Structure 1
């Protein structure tokens, strides 16, 4: 089961802050599907998630993160 998070109304750095908080509530191996606004967040959220050790897949403004 994937959890969904829509941060498309937010701007960086709040897009990553909200994503990080949502990831912390998940168990290892669970998936978070995040919708981000076009632009800076499309780069920053996946990069930050990878740096935190999570597995990330990007499809435009839709980011799939598997919690590490």
Structure 2
């Protein structure tokens, strides 16, 4: 978890556990159709935990720069 203490901005991840894989995949699908948007206009990025870790590994291999989607 990364938090900027002076500005109180949060830049990190939170993992949510669903009862079944199907429930998790349904949530991901719905979040792509209707994004969850914060007051400042930024959208919550939703992904499966395995996909999240794969993306982080690619980012790390890229020297910390986000990998192209």
Which of the five TM-score ranges fits, normalised by the shorter chain? 0.3 to 0.5
Q: Which has the higher strand share?
A: 1
Bigger RCO (CA 8 Å, 6+ sep): 1
Q: What is the TM-score of this pair, normalised by structure 1?
A: 0.33
Larger Rg: 2
